[in-house]
């Protein structure tokens, strides 16, 4: 087990299109060790999720907590399909964009199809906070950071965010502690 170094915005790995994981790689001890390390790193930094490119590994692998009861889970080669035109605005943060928060608008009902870390297929329909987390994490696999999608006038340093609260049309927004990374 190892805690991995988290890449910060500006590192090219965060802008690459990550490679799919193939069957042979998935079965390897090396890959399973990587999954353990990715999870340990997410837990160390108290993220809601972590994508492999954030630890300098350009593979389509994400670990995240969608449901506190189920605990952290892995999505390998995930594919997201929005199931609605309606969107929700959430203040997001990212372990790779340290110390900043900003409001992002995303579809609030999505389907996710992926493999688990053992190669078993799984599918979810997600709404609310888990839908935000999964879209944020899967964006990392396509070289997209939340800040690319954020409303620029809502961007705030963490200290000011905590002092003045969210900017913009989000007066009723309640801070989600879970968004400390993702
Ligand atoms: Zn992130």
Taking CA 43 as the corner, what is the angle to CA 39 and CA 180, rounded to the nearest 5 degrees?
120
Task: Tell me how far the alpha carbon of residue 94 lies from the centroid of ligand 1, in angstroms.
Answer: 4
Task: Tell me how far the alpha carbon of residue 98 lies from the centroid of ligand 1, in angstroms.
Answer: 10
Give bridge partners of residue 76 from the DSSP assignment.
Answer: 61, 115
Domains recognised in the chain with CATH numbers = 12-164 (3.90.45.10)
Residue 1 burial (CB count, 10 A): 8
d(CA 68, CA 65): 7
Task: Tell me how far the alpha carbon of residue 75 lies from the centroid of ligand 1, in angstroms.
Answer: 15
HEC secondary structure over 61-81: EEEEECCCCCCEEEEEEEEEE
Task: Tell me how far the alpha carbon of residue 137 lies from the centroid of ligand 1, in angstroms.
Answer: 6
Whether 137 is catalytic is yes
Selecting among 73, 92, 137, 182, the annotated active-site residue is: 137
Q: Are 5 and 39 in contact (CB under 8 A)?
A: no
Each residue's pLDDT tens digit in the chain (182 positions)?
899 999 999 999 999 999 999 999 999 999 999 999 999 999 999 999 999 999 999 999 999 999 889 899 999 999 999 999 999 999 999 999 999 999 999 999 999 999 999 999 999 999 999 999 999 999 999 999 999 999 999 999 999 999 999 987 654 444 444 454 54
pLDDT for 179: 52
What is the pTM for the complete model shown? Answer: 0.92
């Amino acid at each position: 087990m190892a805690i991995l170094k988290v890449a910060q915005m500006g590192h090219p790995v965060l802008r690459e299109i990550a490679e799919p994981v193939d069957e042979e790689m998935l079965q390897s001890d090396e890959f399973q060790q990587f999954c353990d390390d990715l999870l340990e790193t997410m837990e160390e930094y108290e993220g809601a999720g972590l994508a492999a490119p954030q630890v300098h590994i350009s593979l389509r692998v994400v670990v995240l907590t969608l449901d506190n009861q189920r605990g952290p889970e892995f999505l390998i080669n995930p594919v997201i399909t929005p199931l609605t035109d309606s969107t929700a605005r959430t203040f997001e943060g990212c372990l790779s964009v340290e110390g900043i928060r900003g409001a992002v608008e995303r579809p609030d009902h999505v389907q996710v199809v992926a493999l688990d870390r053992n190669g078993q297929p799984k599918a979810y329909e997600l709404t609310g906070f888990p839908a935000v987390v999964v879209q944020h994490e899967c964006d990392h696999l396509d070289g997209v950071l939340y800040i690319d999608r954020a409303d620029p006038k809502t961007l705030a340093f963490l200290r000011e965010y905590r002092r003045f609260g969210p900017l913009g049309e989000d007066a009723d927004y309640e801070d989600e502690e879970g968004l400390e990374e993702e």
